[in-house]
Amino acid sequence: MIWLLLTILSSTIIFILFKEISEKKLTFIYPIVLNYLIGAFLGIIVFGGEINQSITDQSWLMPSVLIGLLFIVNFFIIGTGTKVLGVTIASIAIKMSLIIPVIFSILVYNETVSTQKITGISLAIIALLLSTIKKQEKKGLLKRLYFIPLLFVGSGLVDTSVKYAQAEFLKTTDFAPFSGFVFLFAGLIGLLYLIISKHSLLLLFNKQNIKYGTMLGLANFSALFFFIKALTSNVFDTSIIFGVNNVSILLLTGLAGIIAYKERVTLLNKTGLLLAIISIVILTI
């Protein structure tokens, strides 16, 4: 249970940091690339320990490359989506993606389907839907419709790929180095993008970019490491972990949006947040 709680806290911090980066009007690419390089350092150098086999012999190497690519592409989408949609709506659209890994876990790993689980996950999905309903100006409508599917599919693929890698390739001692290499490949892809697009690499060392890149790296590495730990804890089925994780992040980011950033919520949004609490209780009792 502690790993799931730490995952929720770390992921919530990521959304808040994205909002702060948006408020500071920083260029997202720099703190995002730095965040992955920091995560790589933590996973490989600080927490990686001794890797007994050659890196090229590790069964998780190719999955880490593919997941690293998914991570940085999805992080770009999340960063831009948070700026366009606001922290609450962006996090809701992302957390709706729980449908993808939940169905994957049930179909591929034959997890049990109980009335309690169906009720809890159904309420979670309804909560997420209700919470997305907001009045938008017409000029922002197309952007909203454009980003919500991107956030939904991107985050769903990331969560599903992490679950698959954890189940098929990872031993307990692999969690930190695997996470580190995911971030390493994401960071290298990000650096390549900076070079190809002719962004100034010197801006990576801007004080604000270093500050937010480091904080993002700490939170992002923690979120992935703790999430893999939660998936292997056997306290809950994977489908329940995805459900509780997503609606809990929704609650915390929603509260942060309301309290810290004065984001407006309607009666339907409040109903959605209430249903999110009920769904968490049903899934975890």
The predicted model gives 107-112 an average pLDDT of 88
Task: Provide the pLDDT confidence category of residue 276 given band limits of 50, 70 and 90.
Answer: confident
Dmax (CA) for the chain in angstroms is 57
- 44 pLDDT above the threshold of 60: yes
Instruction: Enumerate residues 6+ apart whose C-beta is below 8 A from 283.
Output: 116, 117, 120, 121, 124, 236, 240, 243, 244
Check residue 137 and give its pLDDT: 44
The parent domain of residue 193 ranges over 2-284
Check residue 151 and give its pLDDT: 86
- 174 pLDDT above the threshold of 60: yes
Q: What Rg value do the Cα atoms of the chain yield, rounded? A: 18
Domain count, the chain: 1
Check residue 135 and give its pLDDT: 59
Least confident of 72-81, 84-93, 121-130, 217-226: 84-93
